[in-house]
Structure formats: C-alpha cells, structure tokens
Amino acid sequence: MSGSLPITFHPAHAQPFTLEQAMLLEINILVAEIQRLENSIQHLRETQSQLTLFLQTEDDQDLRQAYQENEIVIDSQSERITLIKVALLNKVGQDSAAHYGISDIDTSTTTRTGTRTGTGIGTGTGTAAGTGIGTATGTGTDGVRNGTVNQSGTENVVHEEDGEEAQPGLHL
C-alpha cells in the first residue's frame, strides 16, 4: 500500500467476507471476482428488463417478488464490488489503481444525511446589489453516510446495519 491512510468500508448488506479478509487475497483473485460480479449484475439487469416487460401486461406476484429479490441482489453485489475495489486500493495504492481497472469507486447509489461542520477562513468582495466573488478554505467532517467509502482522516462514517441478507434472485 502507498503511504496514504487506509480506506475503510462499511457495507449496508451482509457480505460473505470483510474488507480485512478481502485484503488478504491475491490481487488477481480480487480482480477476477470484480469481473465475475459485474457479469452477474449485467445478467440480472437483463432479467429485470424482461421481468419489467412481462409485469406490464401480467400481474404475477411470484415474478413481482422475484423482481424485488433481484434488486436486493444487484445492490448487494454492487456493494461487494465496491468493497473489493477498496481492498485493492488499500493493497496497491491510488497510483496503481488504474492498472487494475479501479480508477474510481462508484458511490453514486449511496445516501448521505447529516450536516457538514468545520472551520475555515474566507475572503471576497461584493457590491451593494448583492453580487460578489470570493474564496474560502477550511476543513470539516461529514455526517452519516450509509454503505460508503471512508478515507481515514478526511471524513467520518457511521453505518446503521439493516440486518437483512441478500436473496438469491431469479434469472430467466
């Protein structure tokens, strides 16, 4: 790992391994698992499209339940990909991450609640009409963020466990 602080991850779904356990695996195993999970998610999304089309004409409760279960599986597998990417980042460092296809970590599906607090200083100029320009610098901490990445030393993460395990899902 590079000289930066380790990244931590707190999953919202039950996962078959922890971040610490993933970091013990060989890099090629982690990369292969990301590829396997991405393939699985692609097939699940194709299935979801087919189920959506069918459910527009038929109200089948079993298929509706399968659709909902697949959504949980997709979320869990997406989260597992993020967990593995964090493990890789911790093993190889940010500078080598792109070599392994992990130039970024997708946190677009995460939620953030709470308030940002901090201290800073700023300067600027303005007019009586209320327009102006300025700059400010400062540091602070984030509020609650569920199922996301935490770069130690830059933000604090609190996770609330939902206690649910992912369902196996239905594939067409």
Q: Is the pLDDT of residue 16 over 70?
A: yes
* 153 or 41, which is more confident: 41
Q: Whose structure tokens read 């990369």?
A: 31
Domain ranges of the chain: 7-116+139-151
Dist CA 86 CA 56 (whole Å): 39
Dist CA 124 CA 147 (whole Å): 37
The structure's pTM equals: 0.58
The confidence score (pLDDT) of residue 91 equals 86
Q: Output the 3-class SS for 64-100.
A: HHHHHHHHHHHHHHHHHHHHHHHHHHHHHCHHHHHHH
Average pLDDT value for residue range 54-76: 96
The confidence score (pLDDT) of residue 23 equals 94
